[in-house]
Amino acid sequence: MEFKPDLTVDSSRYRAVGTFHTHPTHDKFEQGGLGNDSFSGGDLKWAFENLKGVHIAQGAQTQFMVAFTAETPANIDTAEIKRDAHQRLNELTSSAG
């Protein structure tokens, strides 16, 4: 599933500066103690490509935040970020049980 938030706002009064979404706890993760899902590779890829602002994800008991600043590199390989994040998640969940 690809993360694509609805950023529709009244642009005469507002501008989107970030996103917030939840990550429901999955049984597969709970069994290995990994119920606090942070950003997925797809979440990060979308953020880099679409809205460089503040992004918050709510895990089971923990909030995770990514904030873009003037120091954030302009040229980032988003496909590599997504691939690396998914690879790490697979490593963690396969060793969890």
List, for residues 5-60, the tens digit of each pLDDT value: 888 899 999 998 999 988 766 655 555 555 677 788 888 888 888 877 899 988 87
53 by DSSP, 3-state: which? coil
Q: How far apart are CA 97 and CA 93, in angstroms?
A: 7
Instruction: Determine the number of helices (DSSP H) and then strands (DSSP E) in the chain.
Output: 3, 3
Q: What is the pTM of this model?
A: 0.71
Return the pLDDT at 82.
86
